[in-house]
């Protein structure tokens, strides 16, 4: 009998390592991995490039009008062994990590029509189960029936340093104070938006990784996943 597959939904705050742990889980279980944050970042990059963000204003109506022109897909990088995002056929994996995208992604992702399009894409990707997906509303909106839901959190200073280290590894310049302020602002916007706000699903398991290693996090979630997979047999 083939092994039954489950859906693993990972939500939580910015820079808690959601993508890292979800990618590692998918690799360990031979599941598909989808970085939903990258999808919203790609839409934000499109908005920046096409004059839909000017100064302090987002032209939400203009963005909605152009949603049909935004095509998002993932491609597997054979060298790095990770999936990278394509925006209208262009690999934008590096561009979506810049601070200007960070500054606007929460506002773009709060646009109802944007979320509806992304959620529909995400649900299509996870139709056959055997998927690990991370984001802000995976366990509450995208896959409310997911067998395993994890909600990740960590101390804000730890998160800011992790984010700064990530930016520096990509040779993107930023200060600790700038990164921390951006994280806290994104938290506020994500938790208070009207469309699919960031919140812990009632049946989600909290994973505070302030003081534990990536390996410890991975083993914790893998054990939970394996227990559920065995129960489904």
Predicted confidence (pLDDT) per residue in 113-170, tens digit: 999 999 999 999 999 899 999 999 999 999 999 999 999 999 999 999 999 998 899 8
CATH code for position 225: 3.40.50.300
Q: Please give the Cα distance from 17 to 134 (Å, whole number).
A: 10
Q: Please report whether residue 2 resides in a domain.
A: no
Convert the pLDDT of each residue in 40-63 to its tens digit: 999 999 999 999 998 889 999 999
| Entry pTM | 0.83
Mean pLDDT of 207-217: 95
108: left (phi over 0), alpha (psi -120 to 50) or beta: alpha
Q: Beta 82-87 vs 90-91: how paired, if at all? A: antiparallel
Q: Please report whether residue 1 resides in a domain.
A: no
Nearest to 163 by CA among 5, 41, 10, 15: 15
* pLDDT over 90 (residue 194): no
Task: Name the percent of the chain lying above pLDDT 90.
Answer: 73
Number of domains in the chain: 1
Q: What is the helix (H) or strand (E) element at residue 135, kind and residue range?
A: strand 131-135
Q: Please report whether residue 147 resides in a domain.
A: yes
Radius of gyration for the chain, computed over Cα atoms and rounded to the nearest angstrom: 17
pLDDT tier for residue 13 given thresholds of 50, 70 and 90: very high
Q: Please report whether residue 66 resides in a domain.
A: yes
Q: Please report whether residue 181 resides in a domain.
A: yes
pLDDT tier for residue 99 given thresholds of 50, 70 and 90: confident
Task: Please tell me the predicted confidence (pLDDT) of residue 114.
Answer: 96
* pLDDT over 80 (residue 5): yes
Q: Please give the Cα distance from 133 to 151 (Å, whole number).
A: 12
Q: Please give the Cα distance from 200 to 215 (Å, whole number).
A: 23
DSSP-assigned beta bridge partners for residue 8: 132, 148
Residue span of the structural domain in which 20 resides: 7-232
pLDDT tier for residue 233 given thresholds of 50, 70 and 90: low
Task: Please tell me the predicted confidence (pLDDT) of residue 1.
Answer: 45
pLDDT tier for residue 232 given thresholds of 50, 70 and 90: low
Neighbours of 31 (CB within 10 A): 21
* pLDDT over 60 (residue 78): yes
Task: Name the percent of the chain lying above pLDDT 70.
Answer: 97
**Cβ contact 20:214 at 8 Å:** yes
Q: Please report whether residue 227 resides in a domain.
A: yes
CA angle 71, 84, 150 (to 5 degrees): 100
* pLDDT over 70 (residue 74): yes
* pLDDT over 70 (residue 173): yes
Neighbours of 20 (CB within 10 A): 16
pLDDT tier for residue 76 given thresholds of 50, 70 and 90: confident
Q: Please give the Cα distance from 105 to 135 (Å, whole number).
A: 12
Full strand arrangement of the beta sheet holding 205-208: 32-35, 131-135, 7-12, 148-153, 205-208
């Amino acid at each position: 009998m083939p092994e039954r597959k489950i859906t693993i939904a990972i939500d939580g705050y910015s820079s808690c390592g959601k993508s890292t742990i979800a990618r590692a889980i998918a690799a360990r279980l031979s599941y598909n991995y989808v970085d939903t944050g990258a999808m919203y970042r790609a839409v934000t990059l499109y908005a920046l490039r096409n004059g839909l963000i000017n100064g302090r204003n987002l032209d939400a109506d203009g963005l909605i009008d152009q949603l049909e022109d935004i095509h998002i897909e993932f491609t597997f990088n054979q060298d790095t062994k990770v999936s990278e995002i394509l925006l209208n056929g262009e690999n934008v994996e590096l561009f979506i990590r810049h601070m200007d995208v960070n500054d606007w992604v929460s506002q773009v992702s709060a646009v109802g029509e944007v979320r509806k399009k992304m959620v529909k894409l995400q649900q299509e990707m996870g139709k056959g189960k055997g998927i690990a997906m991370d984001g802000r509303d995976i366990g509450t909106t995208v896959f409310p029936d997911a067998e395993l839901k994890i909600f990740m959190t960590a101390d804000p200073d730890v998160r800011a340093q992790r984010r700064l280290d990530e930016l520096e590894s990509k040779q993107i310049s930023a200060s600790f104070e700038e990164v921390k302020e951006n994280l806290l602002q994104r938290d506020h916007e994500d938790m208070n938006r009207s469309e699919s706000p960031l919140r812990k699903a009632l049946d989600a398991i909290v994973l505070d990784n302030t003081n534990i290693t990536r390996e410890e996090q991975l083993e914790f979630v893998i054990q939970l996943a394996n227990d559920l997979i065995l129960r489904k047999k």
